[in-house]
Structure 1
Amino acid sequence: MSLLQVRELFPILNQEVNGHPLVYLDSAASSQKPTPVIEALKRYYEMDNANVHRGVHTLGSRATDAYEGARDKVRQFINAKSSEEIIFTRGTTTAINLVASSYARSVCGEGDEIVLTPMEHHSNLIPWQQVAKATGATLKYIPMEPDGTIRLENVENTITDNTRIVAITYVSNVLGVINPIEDIARIAHRHGAKVLVDGAQSTPHMKVDVQQLDCDFYAFSGHKMCGPTGIGALYGKKELLEQMEPIEFGGEMIDHVDLYESTWKELPWKFEGGTPIIAGAVGMAAAIDFLSDIGMENIEKHEKSLAAAAWDRMSEVEDLVIYGPSSDRAGLITFNLGDIHPHDVATVLDSQGVAIRAGHHCCQPLMRQLNVSATARASFYLYNTEEDIDRLVKALIKTKEYFDHAIG
């Protein structure tokens, strides 16, 4: 499938914004949805809509087959050993909170350590702050290099025999850094620690193999990988998930209920109380089929090429500062343009039909480490082109000219 054919499958891109053809460069926040995903959701609601696991009628059976089939597609997509290791959640945030609340609070205590990095999204920071407050554990941070990368030497020096959890993003949503998860997991396991990976920015953009990474938990969202909002997944090694207690209670996650005691279903259903996100799972499965047909290796190659081209062309814009490593980075560029506030940059770009992100990107500690209050971010996906980058650069030059003239 050619790039042009891929773009034609995203109806939302065929529109004008403020009189200009839309250039969507905010996929790190949420990706657009292709026709196959939209049609899968429509077909489910038109033909198969029913609750799962409970009914014996035909629609209930179809819905159950679609839901559990989606679970197996997730398993295959990240190469988990078993579908029992795949828990459907509302997204990355919910998945991380599940591990923090159920697993970490049961294994952490006074004197134990939780190791993070300063580049973590708030969703992979605040839950661990709460665990530390509740258990008396200590938060520790692996130092970053000036370009935002981390050295394995510093990982070795930060993780100790007192470390219980290492929670780290695979790809930084600000810096574009790709962290060496496999090496970090090896170091953590040598000290008896468990590793949780925030895969929100990696799963949509590169091939993920949780067995090769040897992480203990892996969390990601559907809406960043061409799927619907409100659906995500937690992978956990079976032996760990079996030890964990559910944190939501109600229908469907139970085995036996008495007036005073209850018991839970087996994996994965003990963590999926209530009516699950059935349509979301169906849409996520369709997104996985779509991405798999294109090939994750092809997507990664395309995005890295776009990021390299964007780095080169944006570096020529006067007074523009780019954050993160200059090479081996994911498909996003975070930057500031002189003294112009990022929100003003984003507003002027929007007037030219170019959609980017501006703010702290849910990474306030990282912003402080970069000595800025906010940044602008352009993020690329399989439907973006070098022409989009040209439009971005032209809009940035216009933005600078506009503010230089206004100040002058």
Structure 2
Amino acid sequence: MRSLCRRYIVTALVGIVGAAASAVPAGAAPSPLVVDQARADELVSLAGADQATFGGVSVDEAGNVLTIRYAPGRLAAARSKVGPSAAGLGGRGWRVDLVPVSHSLAELDAVRQRVGRWRPGGASLSEWYVDVTHNRVAVGVTELSPRLVAAARAEFGDRVALHQAARATRASRTADWKPWAAGIRITSGGTACTAGFFVEVPGTPATRRMVTSGHCFANAAVVSNNGVSIGTVTSRTLTDNGKDVEYVLGTFTPWTYKGPSTSDYGDTIRGTKASVVGQTFCTNGAFGGEVCSGTVDALNLCVLMTDGITTCSLDRLVSGGGVMTRLGDSGGNVFTYDAAGLKIGGMIVAMSPGGTTTYFHPAAAVTPMGWRVSVG
């Protein structure tokens, strides 16, 4: 997802060790209640607020069933709390089932907190949480073994079940994944640059291309992030007195990382911002990170680069002495904000020695005729 904090958890669940909780004998189950779907959240909140009485809630959307679990000896308390909340909520919608379990949420949450301090020899914890369906604390370890299962049973009894799960990694500029975002580190053949933003034929997201600097990679080069292929350079321009831009075909989302070079957060791209003298922009490279100290002081420059090629259609940002751009930031975006959100100003092409001046192509200069910058 991408949201403001683009954080994903990837877990390889190999198998729960330990059976589901056995029901506590409690005589005949009460008649089921029925609540309106629009107000079922009230019961979820109620059960979460009284952890001594309840053992967790789950839903079966296909069957429209809300299962509320109650702790041993707490049937009367559960019925008295749930009943008034359900009364008068309508005769259609979710069926509410009260089900007895062996452990209350309060008991399991105390165990969950203990698990966080548990350090059996050779074990590497990866995750731990209250599994309301099985009425246990589920504990993920990077390598599962009979010895660990026995150690967990000795420490926590039947309130814990182990499973194997890899440790989660945060998506970041250095380790993103499909659909790929802007602002990430991109590499090919030992060269590293930055993904700038994306362009597309209006109304056709499948045509999206990543925009980056033409001096980064050869035409038809395979571009990667953290060793994973993003796509292939489909066209490239790096000619004397021309532009410095290339386009990568892949699967992309109109979202860009911000912040430092190891950032795992960013924002949705909402459009473009014209570059005019006096306009302030943030430079946003995968190595220098986000630096919001640049002001446009010149437009439509031609600049003779150290490789001997003159690049034109450049605007210039000056910082007043602070470092804005570092090696590897080529291709990264410059952006600003307005009332609509984050707006792309262009793509980083070059810098002065020391990185206090940044040269960039305005977004319009590198958007093909009939295309547009991808927005979310």
- TM-score class, shorter-chain normalisation, is under 0.3
Q: Between Structure 1 and Structure 2, whose CA radius of gyration is higher?
A: 2
Higher helix share: 1
Tell me which of the two structures has the higher relative contact order, counting C-alpha pairs closer than 8 angstroms and 6 or more residues apart: 1
Higher strand share: 2
Normalising by structure 2, report the TM-score: 0.22
